[in-house]
Amino acid sequence: MKTINLLFAVHNHQPVGNFEKVFREGWEKCYGPFLDAVEKHPKFRLTLHYSGSLLEWLEENRPDFLPRLKALVARGQVELLSGGFYEPLLPFIPQQDAVGQIDLLNRYLNEKLNFRPQGFWLAERVWNPTLPKTVAPSGLKYTIVDDSHFRFAGLSDEDMFGHYVTDHEGFILSIFPIHKRLRYAIPFRAPEETIEALRFWATDSGHLAVTYADDGEKFGLWPGTYGWVFEERWLEKFIVRIEENLEWVHLLTFSEYTGKFPPQGRAYLPAASYDEMMEWALPALSAIGYEDMIAELKQEGRYEKYRPYLRGGSWENFLVKYPESNHLHKKMLYVSEKVHRALKSPPAAEKKKEYPPPPALQALWMAQSNCAYWHGLFGGLYLNYLRHAVYQNLITAERLAEISQWGEEKRLEYEIVDLDKDLQPEILITNSELGAILKPSYGGSLIELDYRPKGFNLTNVLTRRPEAYHRKLKRAQLSSLSRGEQPQSIHNLSLAKEEGLEEALMYDWYMRYSFLDHIFGEDATFDQFRRCQYPELGNFVNQSYELVEIKKWDNAERLAVLLHRKGGLFKREGKVPLDICKRFLFHRDTARMEVEYEIINYGPAEVGIWFGIEMNLTLLAGDDPQRHFLFPGLKVQDQRLSSSGALPGAEKVCLRDEFLGFEVSIEAAPSSELWRFPLETVSQSESGFEKTYQGTVLLFHWRFSLKPREKKHFPLALSCRGI
């Protein structure tokens, strides 16, 4: 009789920072019912992976979960996979963190479930050829990647079985190819289709194995799947059909298979991920071209022939496509160095082997949860609360590392480093309450401002930019989903969560940092500025400022950073030389910064100037009544952070967070006209296209004229305090 080995793996994960209600829904609609089904069918053997963030939630909120899972492991029905505890992309975090996170999950599985894993789940299947060496200290022997990785290495359909051996600098790892046909069929096609495919692949020798491995959220959480998988009993039918054919379909775990059968051969895979990820990593225009090429090849019947030679970008391209992602990534690397430097003393080094690890290290590792660093079909980077969770943990880790090194003594420190690795220096200023990062090479702007007592990055906003999928909105190429119908893979769905999203498609030509300096044309309007389609007459917004000096005084109680740009105001009659100096002042003992501007006309004649200072700040929720504006001395009816409008005579504006208990205030002198509007993006997620509040744009602006060599001063002050 011809037989086949089926290696069935399910990966379950919720990212750090996701809403409590999502974890609950995940249990009720997906993880719980799936576990129920597995318990009812002891002959259905499979491999499971749970990320550490999900395991910790389940342990705390579903106390019966771990004992139930432990029982499944004990009876040999379930093998468990290790991996990075908080689901990092292992190739893109420091090796000591990669090994530390794997060791942490290894210890958790051993202590809580009495299981020593041999393999690991590779987050997002983001593979790098150096991984065998990276994970070697953990002692793990295998991982699972897509068949696309193997196709890019020149292997064919006939080779997508069993496992292969790869190595780097002599460190060995077994790798299993996930069969794409099964990944797309389960659970969206009838169980019989899987049975027929397995029958086709079965051999007389019975040595071949086919791997299925994919997200557990397909079984109940993806749109339309709960009704299909559980109410329509797809999962029950699938398991029963497998059980009916166990005479020739052998359910093995991955470690059992590697123990019984040698590798199919040797394979060296290029850096890759699954097909969709590499397409998402492309710049918008390239992604559109790639999408059109794939459609044309499919229409012409040539796609399968050329598929092995077609690939998008690589995961690193997200760091180019989204500078906010690059900033997040490089800040993480910087904090990692800081934390490990602080933990070098022997007692702390010993604690690194404990569960849980030292608080600074745990916060760092939680900040390496990958979902907020990129964007594709899932919201990812576009979800401000996921970015907030990363920043909150980075701020916490950094502050704990400082306390470990220096104690609680109040200090005011600065550092000049190339934080974002663009060969241009940034200036990092910290005290116990405030963390600031200035970028002279981009408008002399403030690119990060942390209120450290709350672990809150106030400048955590996202620039509005085109995405390849925006053309579906413009062309109204949207799907619909009816109750009870067979669901489609989310890769084939295009749903809209609200009407009129195409009207919200606006794109910025500069990064939405703070203390950006504008010179407006006389006919600029509020709506033009809101749409970022206004006349800009200056060359200051995204251009380089010179770092003139950094100076401490008053026994290091104050620190000043002076930036200067020799720029210009460009009118029809030519350029008017115009200099802008701005001096940032920080204090040791308070969460306050003052910025004093000096504008000098070096032209030969008097010139009229419309000058504006732009701030981009966030408290995460635009319509939450607990997070709102205050306008002292002014009567403003709509005080939501998502409100829009122009306010004359504004001297002070406050952003208050009553939920977390703090307030941010900005004072301007002389009083200015203030424009405000919400910064909103349109992005896709697994549940459809959605508009997301990223922050609020605040523009303080003044009209005045300057004679030759005349100067004008504009002081602003920003402060944070608990309430």
- The predicted pLDDT at position 670 comes to 84
- The predicted pLDDT at position 259 comes to 96
Which SS3 state, helix, strand or coil, does residue 466 take?
coil
Supply the DSSP string of 292-356, one letter for each residue: HHHHHHHHTT-HHHHGGG-----GGGHHHH-HHHHHHHHHHHHHHHHHHHHT-SHHHHHHTTSSS
- The predicted pLDDT at position 355 comes to 75
Give, in order, the Cα–Cα distances in Å from 222 to each of 51, 122, 201, 433.
18, 21, 29, 41
Sequence-separated (6 or more) residues with CB below 8 Å from residue 372: 15, 17, 328, 380, 381, 383, 386, 387, 389, 390
CA gap 17, 388 in Å, rounded: 8
Q: How many CB atoms lie within 10 A of CB 542?
A: 15
- The predicted pLDDT at position 481 comes to 46
Give, in order, the Cα–Cα distances in Å from 268 to each of 139, 150, 155, 187.
20, 8, 10, 31
Q: How many CB atoms lie within 10 A of CB 245?
A: 16
Average model confidence (pLDDT) for the chain?
94
Interior angle at CA 294, CA 293 and CA 298, nearest 5:
115
Cross-strand partners of 381: none
CA gap 364, 157 in Å, rounded: 41
φ and ψ of 490, to 5 deg: -65, -15
Residues of the chain with pLDDT under 50: 347-349, 479-482, 491
Domains of the chain, with CATH numbers? 4-273 (3.20.110.20), 501-722 (2.70.98.10)
C-beta of residue 323 within 8 angstroms of C-beta of residue 287: no
User: What would the two tokens of residue 664 be?
Assistant: 């941010």
Using the structure block, give the residue that is written with the tokens 């939501």: 640
Q: Which residues are catalytic?
A: 124, 215
Pairing of strands 119-120, 142-146: parallel
- The predicted pLDDT at position 114 comes to 97
CA gap 292, 255 in Å, rounded: 41
CA gap 512, 618 in Å, rounded: 12
- The predicted pLDDT at position 472 comes to 87
- The predicted pLDDT at position 109 comes to 97
- Chain centroid to Cα 354, Å, comes to 28
Sequence-separated (6 or more) residues with CB below 8 Å from residue 306: 297
- The predicted pLDDT at position 352 comes to 53
Q: pLDDT (tens digit, 9 = 90+) per residue, 196-243?
A: 999 999 999 999 999 999 999 999 999 999 999 999 999 999 999 999
Q: pLDDT (tens digit, 9 = 90+) per residue, 126-136?
A: 999 999 999 99
Q: How is residue 469 annotated by DSSP?
A: T
